Amino acid sequence: MRLSVAASDDKNQKVLELAKKQFEEKHPGVEIEIVTLPREIIERSIREGSAPDLLDWDGSNIGDLLDRGIILDLTSLMDNSAFDVLDFYPSALNAASDKGRIGAIPVMAEVPGVFYNKALFDEAGVAYPKDNWTWDEFVRKAQMLNSYDADGEVVRYGAYLVPRLLPVEPLVWSRGGAFLSEDGEKASGYLDSPETAETIRRYLEMYHPLEVTPFEDVGAETWVACFIHHKMAMYYDASWAIKPMAREHREQFGVVMPPRMGEEPLRNIVQVYGYCISAQCQNVPLAWTFLQELTSPHTEAGREWAKHNLAVSRTVAGVSGQQADSLYQPFLASLENARLGAFDVSSLRLWDYWNNDIFQEWVLRESRINVEERLRIIAREYDDHQ
């Protein structure tokens, strides 16, 4: 017997290899074939009727996948398994569920937060940020922590804001705005609302005219070095950023959840990753047995996911050490009420009209753009093509 399992990135590949080895040892005669292909090729195989038996899921609208018959509803299988749905953090399970149906088993998650360099705060006599802080506090601290040379050039930035859209959305929510309606079907009145436009305008002004954050995109390989060498005092990005830290550097950094841009309580954005059973699978009982090996908090492979990003269950958070880790704790706490963002809810349809490349173009412009008009055009294009 053979099962095929999709792997669209290196993290998935490593855990799949472990699950394959252990499953084949327990089930002689079963072969697990790991299909390593780009996501667009896997999507084409689904359309052509030759999908792998198990599909990796990147947080896109699970109800849409269930309604279109691409994946199976796992609810009845979950009822007769060792999974405890209450063990999952609510935002992870909510992302994988729709109208009482469970379409995927979550394995890891990602939420944004603000890392800060304690030494630089101490040196400048600036108080560490605390939960429920405001955007105005964030801006003031960044300005106080900016450092200049004799010619007035910035030698250390008070903050680093990624020139990407994901971390902007929780700021928009806190101001009472949104990128899309909750069902992802409508942009007009949401993306182009005054609340959304003002949030984005204030995010952009951190690059220019305030100049408290660099323009370039600092990636996974360089951000820790920038922190260690005191090139930035705060870093607004996601939980994945903990992984590259060496043990000796971890105590230098603190972390706090994003600041509020408005009066609404902060609700963080979450990206969830997991695995589904394809509706084209010919041996569902076998696929379900392997899916449990791959994702259960009680298997070695299921616990391995926490080495790559944020745990999605309390059991794995405890066993992996994340629950006791001061850097991971705030991110785990935010999983209690985080929500999917507009790009996942729209299954990336919004991405076709508004994406990181467009946003980075806005960041890099020397003269400010008309944010309201740009958002109005994008919202109209999105709605016209729904």
Q: What is the mean pLDDT of the chain?
A: 91
Q: What is the pLDDT of residue 228?
A: 66
Q: What is the pLDDT of residue 349?
A: 95
Q: What is the pLDDT of residue 221?
A: 57
The type of residue at 17 is: E
109 neighbors 271 (Cβ within 8 angstroms) = yes
- For residue 134, what pLDDT band results from cuts at 50, 70 and 90? very high
Burial class (CB in 10 A: 0-12, 13-18, 19+), 91: buried
Tell me how many helices (H) and strands (E) the chain has.
Answer: 18, 14
The pairing of beta strand 253-256 with beta strand 147-148: unpaired
Determine the angle formed by the axes of helices 371-384 and 194-205, rounding to 10 degrees: 130
**4: three-class secondary structure by DSSP:** strand
State the pTM of this model.
Answer: 0.92
Query: Residues 6 or more apart from 360 whose CB is under 8 A from it?
Result: 163, 164, 217
In the chain, % of residues over pLDDT 90? 74
CA distances in angstroms from 224 to 37, 112, 220, 221, 273, listed in the order given: 30, 16, 8, 7, 24
Q: What is the DSSP code string of 42-95? A: HHHHHHTT---SEEEE-S--HHHHHHTTSB---HHHHHTSS--GGGB-HHHHHH
Residue 363's CB: how many other CB atoms inside 10 A? 21
The 10 Å CB-count burial string (b at 16+, else e) for 305-325 is bbebbbbbbbbbbebbebeee
- For residue 346, what pLDDT band results from cuts at 50, 70 and 90? very high
19 pLDDT higher than 60 = yes
> Average of pLDDT values for 78-94?
92
335 neighbors 91 (Cβ within 8 angstroms) = yes
In the chain, % of residues over pLDDT 70? 96
Question: Alpha-carbon distance 204 to 363, whole Å?
Answer: 6
Smallest Cα–Cα separation from 171: which of 206, 202, 129? 202
273 pLDDT higher than 90 = yes
DSSP 8-state code for residue 217: P
- For residue 45, what pLDDT band results from cuts at 50, 70 and 90? confident
Query: Residues 6 or more apart from 10 whose CB is under 8 A from it?
Result: none
The pairing of beta strand 154-156 with beta strand 101-102: unpaired
Question: Alpha-carbon distance 96 to 78, whole Å?
Answer: 13
> What is the per-residue pLDDT across 150-196, written as a single tens digit (0 to 9) for each?
888 888 899 999 889 999 999 999 999 999 999 999 999 999 999 99
Q: What is the pLDDT of residue 218?
A: 60
- For residue 222, what pLDDT band results from cuts at 50, 70 and 90? low
> Average of pLDDT values for 2-14?
85
297 pLDDT higher than 60 = yes
106 neighbors 312 (Cβ within 8 angstroms) = yes
203 pLDDT higher than 60 = yes
> Average of pLDDT values for 140-155?
89
The pairing of beta strand 2-7 with beta strand 31-36: parallel
Tokens of 306: 């926490």
217 pLDDT higher than 70 = no
61 pLDDT higher than 90 = yes
- Sign of the Cα torsion 311, 314, 315, 319 reads positive
244 neighbors 314 (Cβ within 8 angstroms) = no
> What is the per-residue pLDDT across 371-386, written as a single tens digit (0 to 9) for each?
999 999 999 999 998 7
Question: Alpha-carbon distance 381 to 386, whole Å?
Answer: 9
Residue 229's CB: how many other CB atoms inside 10 A? 9
Cα-based torsion angle of the residue sequence 173, 59, 87, 268 in order, rounded to the nearest 10 degrees: -20
Q: What is the pLDDT of residue 130?
A: 95
